Amino acid sequence: MRIAVVAESFLPRVNGVSNTVRQVVARLGAQGRECIVIAPDFCLDDHVEGVPVVRMKSLQLPGVPDVDVAFGRAAPIAGILDDFGACVVHLASPFILGARAQSAAESLGIPTVAVFQTDVAGFARHYRLGPLTGIADAMIGRIHRRATMTLAPSRSSADYLHGLGVRRIRSWGRGVDLRLFRPDARCVHLRERLGGGLPLVGYVGRLAPEKRIEALLPLAHRTDIRLVIIGDGPEQAFLRRAMPHAVFLGHLSGPALASAMASLDVLVAPGELETFCQVIQEAMASGVPVVAPGVGGPLDLIEHGRDGLLYPPGDHLALVAAVEQLVGSRALRLRIADAGLERVSLRSWDALTDELVGHYEHVCRVNARVGRASVAAAA
């Protein structure tokens, strides 16, 4: 099976879409499946994880940092798919590039699997791009209605898509690298360096407005905990000024990220536009209890009081209270951490990639049946 992955965003951008694509193509390659990635030309790398990458001309979206919009036309993309001999096209968070690739795939009779990952309309509202909200909903609905199959990461995402008239929806979450993120990556020396014995409460992710990191401001000024911020992004300078007592570690990856994650006592994921929220799974795999808003992706990842704590969206006092509850009880932290670790223990990227391949195989069978029926009707 030859798989063409069309990524609306890709490395070196660091986000959920690019990370998911990287993890998936690496494992597809390890299984001996031939892959190609079509992505924006933010950089010129032509191979990632041993997989060829075709870069399409792109521009950065005005007013929205770290977001590239690729403008590849359908005809050249069709040529790429045809030359590659694609059996299925995986549309990763499809929008503009994904829509063109979908048209290209349709022209060749290739089935498409559209993976919903980004709440584009929610982003438009957050960045006060009001007129684009309705346009985004219309485009997202059209893309996913046309797809052979849509994969939704959470119930809230599936409900949103269903409201746009999308019907061929199946569930597909995200895997977690259980070899990298694990409790024994915890480092006593790092904990001492960061907190000097204080409990460590952390945030891990992009430093961007939609992540609602300002919700952590009440924690940043406390003297009984140490706030640790891991990541970088357009809000870094503002947050450093607003949180002078917090520790900023910048962007980390690989073992350094795993060690920092496992060394936390509590992770807070305050974003309210998350269709999934991968960092929650990574914290659970690291043995770290999580606090998150009860909206979007976290609702599918956390059972409140069992393997994490949820608070009402926008209620920053409840966020602080949840953190205090965990910091104040080692027994509660351990109980929730153990339950979280159990929850993600079967969600490796290998397992989730196998599940994804099953979806690929299904749409190929459906496409073959439709093709045979069309030939019979024409005869």
Q: Binning pLDDT at 50, 70 and 90, where does residue 377 land? A: very low
pLDDT one-digit tens code per residue, 151-197: 999 999 999 999 999 999 999 999 999 999 999 999 999 999 999 99
- Write out the two tokens for 5: 């992955």
Q: Are residues 68 and 109 in the same domain?
A: yes
289 and 361 both lie in a single domain: no
The domain of 126 spans 2-175+348-378
Q: Are residues 301 and 222 in the same domain?
A: yes
CATH of the domain at 283: 3.40.50.2000
Mean per-residue pLDDT, 354-362: 98
**Domain shared by 214 and 307, yes or no:** yes
**267/150 same-domain check:** no
Q: Count how many domains the chain has.
A: 2
Least confident of 23-37, 194-208, 270-284, 363-377: 363-377
Pair 188, 298 in one domain? yes
Mean local confidence (pLDDT), 111-132 = 81
| 319 vs 42, residue with greater confidence | 319
pLDDT in tens, 194-247: 999 999 999 999 999 999 999 999 999 999 999 999 999 999 999 999 999 999
Whether residue 168 sits in one domain with residue 190: no
Q: Do residue 194 and residue 287 come from a single domain?
A: yes
Q: Let me know whether 200 and 226 are in one domain.
A: yes
Task: Say whether both 199 and 156 belong to one domain.
Answer: no
Predicted pLDDT of residue 11 = 78
Same domain, 121 and 34: yes
Based on the fold, state whether residues 43 and 170 are members of the same structural domain: yes
